[in-house]
Amino acid sequence: MITHLKGRDYIETQDYTSAEINDLINLAKDLKGRFHRGEPTILLPHQTIFLLFFDNSTRTRNAFEAGATQLGAHAHFLDSKVTQIAHGETAKDTGLILGSMGHAIAIRHDLILDEGNKYMREVAAATKAPVINMQCDVDHPTQTLADLMTIREIFGDDLRGRKIAVSWAYSPSYAKPLSVPQGLITLMTRFGMDVTLAHPPEYRLMDRCMKTARENAKAAGTKFEVVDNMDAAFERADIVYPKSWGPYDLMLQRRDAKSGEDMKAIEEQMLSMNARYKSWICNSERMRKAKSTAIYMHCLPADRGAEVTDDVIDGKQSVVFQEAENRLHTAKAIMAATMRERPF
């Protein structure tokens, strides 16, 4: 068991050293092996984690709920819209109360730029209970930890020289958060991979994440480049990770919207802008531009027929369901490593 991370917040992967990230992945691998052998892993008996959601979730919520159960803990699901947060309760007060009642607080707050990460850090400042980021506007550190674990399962621990293409892809459903591509470019540059980011001009990422990716690549001796062509990104790639996210300037406008009507109008503008780039889809023709041994990854849910064709996501190069299962084991590793024990 990892003990040196007890009580630590897990808000961005950048907050952890490479050695600490490796420790979490090694613990996740051990927990995965025990899960498949049917061995019990009651590492957090009688502990409580609060799962506070400002946005919808399938994989993240169930990874944490199932994971907590398998560790002997209990996860409380909290919808922000039916708590006193909806009436204006502050992040500080929420942190003080939930932190006094349980052993950890996990939060998803990802759709509004410059709000989610700030909220989590305000909660964390108010409590000694560890705060875990289940996705914010800046990072999705539980997802990218599972992504790195999956890549290592396939290619081994030494990833130096491997190329990952993180590309925008078309979506007709809604303007998705920027946190997954931001989390990928900041984490994968640290672990030996050459990262190519591709997107249309309107879909830039946060400046601070771009700066961090460049600094991480320089420190690790890897490459980080940005292109405006999906085909160029896929060329000779070992890993392709095409997914949609919202146009940056319009995401800022949504943040500053004064009414529900304004927000709806901006959302319609974002979907209209997405529709200009319907050709940004991951199909078999594009997969052939990558290496024959390349894998297709996605955090899910993927918009089938828009972000990706069925033959790719269901094909032999797709590892999305292995990736999704690893969300369970990395969530368990994070909880087991960080949740503190309370003395009687």
With tokens 């007709």, the residue in question is: 172
Label residue 40 by pLDDT band (50, 70, 90): very high
| pLDDT for residue 136 | 98
* Nearest-angstrom CA–CA distance, 190 and 172: 33
- Greatest C-alpha distance within the chain: 61
Residue 53 dihedral angles phi and psi, to the nearest 5°: -115, 125
In a domain, 5, yes or no: no
| pLDDT for residue 342 | 57
| pLDDT for residue 341 | 65
| pLDDT for residue 340 | 72
Span 242-265, pLDDT tens digits:
999 999 999 999 999 989 999 999
Q: Are residues 172 and 132 in the same domain?
A: no
Q: Are residues 309 and 174 in the same domain?
A: yes
Instruction: Catalogue the E-assigned strands of the chain.
Output: 48-53, 74-79, 104-109, 131-136, 163-168, 194-198, 224-227, 239-243, 295-296
In a domain, 97, yes or no: yes
Q: How far is CA 92 from CA 78, 118, 127, 128, in A?
A: 17, 11, 8, 12
Region 268-281: mean pLDDT is 98
pTM assigned to the model: 0.97
* Nearest-angstrom CA–CA distance, 241 and 341: 38
> Which residue range is the domain that position 54 belongs to?
13-139+326-338
Label residue 2 by pLDDT band (50, 70, 90): confident
Q: Are residues 190 and 269 in the same domain?
A: yes
What mean pLDDT, rounded, does the chain reach?
97
Q: Are residues 64 and 159 in the same domain?
A: no
pLDDT at 3 over 90: no
pLDDT at 343 over 70: no
Q: Are residues 297 and 258 in the same domain?
A: yes
| pLDDT for residue 344 | 41
In a domain, 1, yes or no: no
pLDDT at 205 over 90: yes
Residues of the chain with pLDDT > 70, as a percent, come to 99
| pLDDT for residue 102 | 96
- Element of type H or E holding 151: helix 141-155
Q: Are residues 121 and 194 in the same domain?
A: no
Q: Are residues 73 and 200 in the same domain?
A: no
CATH code: domain of residue 188: 3.40.50.1370
In a domain, 3, yes or no: no
Q: Are residues 52 and 132 in the same domain?
A: yes
Region 152-158: mean pLDDT is 98
Q: Are residues 89 and 43 in the same domain?
A: yes
Q: Are residues 93 and 147 in the same domain?
A: no
In a domain, 255, yes or no: yes
Span 43-93, pLDDT tens digits:
999 999 999 999 999 999 999 999 999 999 999 999 999 999 999 999 999
Residue 127 dihedral angles phi and psi, to the nearest 5°: -140, 155
Span 156-202, pLDDT tens digits:
999 999 999 999 999 999 999 999 999 999 999 999 999 999 999 99
In a domain, 32, yes or no: yes
In a domain, 200, yes or no: yes
Q: What stretches of 172-206 show up as alpha helix (H) in DSSP?
A: 179-188
Residue 258 dihedral angles phi and psi, to the nearest 5°: -95, -15
pLDDT at 103 over 70: yes
How many separate domains does the chain show?
2
In a domain, 213, yes or no: yes
Rounded to the nearest 10 degrees, what angle do helices 207-220 and 179-188 cross at?
Answer: 20
Q: Are residues 155 and 99 in the same domain?
A: no
* Nearest-angstrom CA–CA distance, 100 and 340: 12
Q: Are residues 246 and 176 in the same domain?
A: yes
